[in-house]
């Protein structure tokens, strides 16, 4: 529902935003599915005194989403796009020019979309990434000194290697196009982005959302379609029984501390399918599901993809 709601809001009040950056007045491109669903863009297209002799396709980005730290956009590239760049890095786009991008927890204050077109033009669009007020807790305790021991790192290195290798897998999953759902409903016991400051020294922030149902063994479902890229066969030191799902286009989910994983690596899963059970394996003080979402290197706040839990 989230995506359609966002698109609806955009259609109602955001036509100027949708069409800003337009370089030539003409009919919306058929390649732009989002734009073609929007009402007639007449109000945003000021009449031009001298239209070009040869009409060219409108070269605009169409998108909707949550343009804030930890947020995301889904959109369609301008007609004729050959290469798409996000903050200077080339990113993928799919059939009919559809793309996904996200803003890291510490992103901003702006991000730039750039499309290099077949005719040599470049269309850019600067997005203002709204800052968030993260939950910060200042504690009068010194941060633990000393790094991990060599004994710990001997176990940890191969775990990290598996996580990195899983995230590098490109499965062609299409779940990124869907409106995400909550994997399980319960109490949110840990918010994305929250952080402790130890006597002025910041600890690492919380990279996911914790959901507690009060019990171990509660089943949880795939928030969107995908392919299993990691299903731990033994508990990892921190993550415990770790399950990772690729949703395609660089977007993936990680589910930590599971008591059971009910799918296998390489398996396709569909939105709403039961994939595991909540537990407290790894570093966890009680049973909860830690759900982390990443797009390439950007960490996303899951609530911005699902909408609030009702
Ligand atoms: Zn957590």
Instruction: Please report the pLDDT score of residue 253 as a whole number.
Output: 98
Rounded distance from Cα 188 to ligand 1 centre (Å) = 10
Q: Which residues contact 129 (CB under 8 A, 6 or more apart)?
A: 67, 68, 69, 71, 103, 107, 108, 109, 110, 111
- CB contact burial 83-117 (16+ within 10 A = b; e otherwise): ebebeeeebebbeebbbbbbbbbebbeebebbbbb
Q: What is the pLDDT of residue 310?
A: 83
Confidence (pLDDT) at 121? 94
Is CATH 2.60.40 correct for 2-128? yes
Ligand 1 center to 240 CA (angstroms): 12
Burial of 144 (0-12, 13-18, 19+ CB in 10 A): exposed
For 136-306, CATH gives: 2.70.70.10
Report the alpha-carbon distance of residue 190 to residue 166 in Å, rounded.
Answer: 25
Is 90 or 32 the better-scoring residue by pLDDT? 90
Q: What is the Å distance from ligand 1's center to 115 Cα?
A: 37
* Domain spans, the chain: 2-128, 136-306
Which pLDDT belongs to residue 53? 60
What residues have CB less than 8 Å from 244, skipping those under 6 apart? 163, 166, 167, 228, 229, 230, 231, 252, 253, 254, 255
Find the 211 Cα to ligand 1 centroid distance in Å: 8
What average pLDDT does this structure show over 7-16?
A: 34
For ligand 1, a single-atom ion, the residues with CB < 5 A are 190, 210, 290
Q: Do the domains spanning 2-128 and 136-306 agree at the CATH topology level?
A: no
Q: Is the peptide bond before 109 cis (omega within 30 degrees of 0)?
A: yes
Q: How far is the CA of 209 from the centre of ligand 1 (A)?
A: 6
Which of 42-56, 177-191, 264-278 is the least confident region? 42-56
Q: What is the token pair recorded at 117?
A: 């077109």
Q: Measured between alpha carbons, how far is 48 from 34 in angstroms, rounded to an integer?
A: 24
Cα of 299 vs centre of ligand 1, distance in Å, is 13
Q: How far is CA 215 from the centre of its chain?
A: 28
Percent of the residues in the chain that have a pLDDT greater than 90, as a whole number? 78
**Bridge partners, 228 (sequence order):** 245
Residue 300 reports pLDDT greater than 70: yes
Q: What is the pLDDT of residues 74-111, one digit of tens each?
A: 999 999 999 999 999 999 999 899 999 999 999 999 99
The alpha carbon of 207 and the centre of ligand 1 are apart by a number of angstroms equal to 7
The 10s digit of each residue's pLDDT in 115-161 is 999 999 999 999 999 999 999 999 998 888 788 899 999 999 999 99
Does the model's pTM come out above 0.85?
no
Question: In angstroms, what is the span from residue 73 Cα to ligand 1's centroid?
Answer: 24
CA of 296 to the centre of ligand 1 (A): 20
Q: What is the pLDDT of residue 147?
A: 85
């Amino acid at each position: 529902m989230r995506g359609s709601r966002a698109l609806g809001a955009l259609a109602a009040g955001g036509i100027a935003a949708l069409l800003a950056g337009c370089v030539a007045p003409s009919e919306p491109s058929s390649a732009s599915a989002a734009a073609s669903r929007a009402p007639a863009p007449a109000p945003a297209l000021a009449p031009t005194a001298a239209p070009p002799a040869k009409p060219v396709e409108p070269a605009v980005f169409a998108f909707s989403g949550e343009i804030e730290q930890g947020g995301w956009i889904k959109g369609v590239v301008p007609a004729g796009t050959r290469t798409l760049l996000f903050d200077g890095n080339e990113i993928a786009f799919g059939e009919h020019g559809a793309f996904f991008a996200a803003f890291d927890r510490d992103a901003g204050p702006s991000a730039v979309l750039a499309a290099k077109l077949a005719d040599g033009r470049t269309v850019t669009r600067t997005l203002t990434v709204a800052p968030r007020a993260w939950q910060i807790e200042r504690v009068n305790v010194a941060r633990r000194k000393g790094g991990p021991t060599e004994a710990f790192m001997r176990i940890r290195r191969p775990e990290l290697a598996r996580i990195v290798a899983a995230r590098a897998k490109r499965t062609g999953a299409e779940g990124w196009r869907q409106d995400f759902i909550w994997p399980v409903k319960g109490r949110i016991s840990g918010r994305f982005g929250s952080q402790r400051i130890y006597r002025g020294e910041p600890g690492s922030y919380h990279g996911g959302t914790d959901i507690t149902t009060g019990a171990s063994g509660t089943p949880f479902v795939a928030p969107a379609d995908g392919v299993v890229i990691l299903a731990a066969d033994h508990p990892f030191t921190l993550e415990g029984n770790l399950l990772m799902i690729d949703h395609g286009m660089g977007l993936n989910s990680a589910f930590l501390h599971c008591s059971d994983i009910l799918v296998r690596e390489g398996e396709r899963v569909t939105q709403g399918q039961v994939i595991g059970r909540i537990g407290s394996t790894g570093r966890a003080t009680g049973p909860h599901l830690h759900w982390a979402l990443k797009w390439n290197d950007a960490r996303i706040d899951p609530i911005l993809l699902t909408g609030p839990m009702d």
